Amino acid sequence: MELIKGGVCAAKGFKASGVHCGIRKNRTKKDLALILSEAPASAASVYTTNLVKGAPLLVTKNHLKNGTARAIICNSGNANTCNANGIDIAEQTCELLGDALKIDSDDVVVASTGVIGQPLDIAPIQNGIPALIEALSEDGSDAAAEGIMTTDTVKKEIAVSFEVGGKLCKIGGIAKGSGMIHPNMATMLVFITTDCAISPEMLQKALSSDIKDTFNMVSVDGDTSTNDMVTVLANGMAGNDMITEEGEDFAIFMKALNTVTVHLCRMIAGDGEGATKLLECTVKNARDIETAKVVAKSVICSSLTKAAMFGADANWGRVLCAIGYSGADVDVTKIAVSFHNGKNYVCVCENGAGIEFSEELAKKILLEKEIEIRIDLNDGDKNATAWGCDLTYDYVKINGDYRT
């Protein structure tokens, strides 16, 4: 497997674009993005578990009933959620795009992100679609990645190549993250494209399985968005034998997909609203996977732990505390905690109690941009990882006055 350039346009037959259409007042920020597959593609999607669901999700869910799609259109700046006419607007968006591209509007995936509860006007989208189509390009992944950003500070893109049955396949994705991200509820906006040939059923199976260990293990602020979803399009243009069942080819595809999703998870967590650092919590030697996951997520979600990491303060008691209230059945007296960066680590707690450690070394480690909080439960052999970020002044600033 090899890291390649091109994001959602890395795979054969995909073009993308992003433009400013006027949903946002700031003319320098793109607010409409498009991804188009030359050929009909298998399509799979997962959605937020929030009971309050954005209208675009309901429309997309309906369009993907037959497991195929051609295009993804996504606006930022308005979530089109909790609006009386939301479904109408989302349907109109698909029809306008379908007409312009001469494809069935049922083959359009639609998504929106931004503020909730403010009516979305169809006019800027309608007016923007010609320019959006005009801008479609094999170098358009960057522009599309920009178009879906809200408070993100960096574009989130990745692509890798892999081989299935002697054929070179590619898979790439773009993501939008930042605030309102919480595990096991749903995720954020992620669009993934591949030219690997795989049936809609196996694509959905791969995606649904993968997110349990990836996007569902990311938390920025404990809030689960109403609008988030992950969609994969697979257009089969790599020419491999269609993957229709489990086996070696499916395993290879799963691994490639996972490489893309883990990378995007880390980017999303590290670019959480106001974040100055990526936190990775690895839980080792749990009695079962569920325990490992629950503990990892509890730690990554703890406001007190997140604030301590911002301050590079090795206040490991807060980690123990978060394990204790996680609801997981753990033996506190067996727990060890250590902080790691790429090169160094410091062990701060053994057998559930503090041990002497170098505050200087701990500070050095915690001042890094990527920190691993490693928890050894010494109670089995199952592991899990969760990703999050620190809690900072800027998180409060960004969210204290989001609408203005």
**Sequence letter at residue 345:** Y
Stretch that binds a copy of itself, among 5-13, 25-33, 125-133, 321-329 (CB under 8 A): 321-329
- 187 a catalytic residue: yes
For residues 364 to 403, the per-residue mask of contacts with a copy of itself, x marking binding by CB under 8 A and - elsewhere, is ---------------------------xxx-xxxxxxxxx
Least Å from the CB of residue 335 to a copy of itself: 9
Q: Cα–Cα distance between 367 and 276 in angstroms, integer?
A: 10
Contact between 339 and 348 under an 8 Å Cβ cutoff? The reply is yes
Binders in 115-144 for a copy of itself, by CB under 8 A: 115-119
Phi then psi dihedrals of residue 72, to 5 deg: -125, 125
Stretch that binds a copy of itself, among 45-53, 68-76, 124-132, 136-144 (CB under 8 A): 45-53
| Selected binder of a copy of itself within 27, 28, 51, 166 (CB under 8 A) | 51
The stretches of 327-385 forming alpha helices (DSSP H) are: 359-366
Q: Are 206 and 164 in contact (CB under 8 A)?
A: no
Pairing verdict, β 2-4 and 156-164: antiparallel
Q: How many CA atoms lie within 13 A of 101 on its CB side?
A: 30
Any contact of residue 14 with a copy of itself (CB under 8 A)?
no
To a copy of itself, the closest distance from the beta carbon of 277 in angstroms equals 12
Pattern of binders to a copy of itself over 217-246, x per CB under 8 A?
Answer: ----xxxxxx--------------------
149 binds a copy of itself, rule: CB under 8 A = no
**Catalytic annotation, pick one of 187, 194, 231, 261:** 187
Cβ distance to a copy of itself smaller for residue 7 or 179: 179
Token pair, residue 88, equals 């109408």
Q: How far apart are CA 218 and CA 367, in angstroms?
A: 21
Cα distances (angstroms) measured from residue 221 to each of 53, 187, 338: 19, 12, 23
Site string for a copy of itself, 252-281 (x = CB under 8 A): ------------------------------
Shortest spacing between CB 357 and a copy of itself, in angstroms: 11
Q: Are 310 and 302 in contact (CB under 8 A)?
A: no
> Using the 8-state DSSP alphabet, how is residue 217 labeled?
G
End-to-end CA distance of the chain: 44
Least distance CB 227 / a copy of itself (angstroms): 9
Q: Which two tokens stand for residue 38?
A: 């030359």
Supply the residues annotated as catalytic: 187
Q: Given the rule CB under 8 A, which residues bind a copy of itself?
A: 49-53, 79, 81-84, 115-119, 179-180, 182, 185, 221-226, 301-304, 307-308, 310-311, 313, 315-318, 320-325, 330, 332, 349, 351-354, 391-393, 395-404
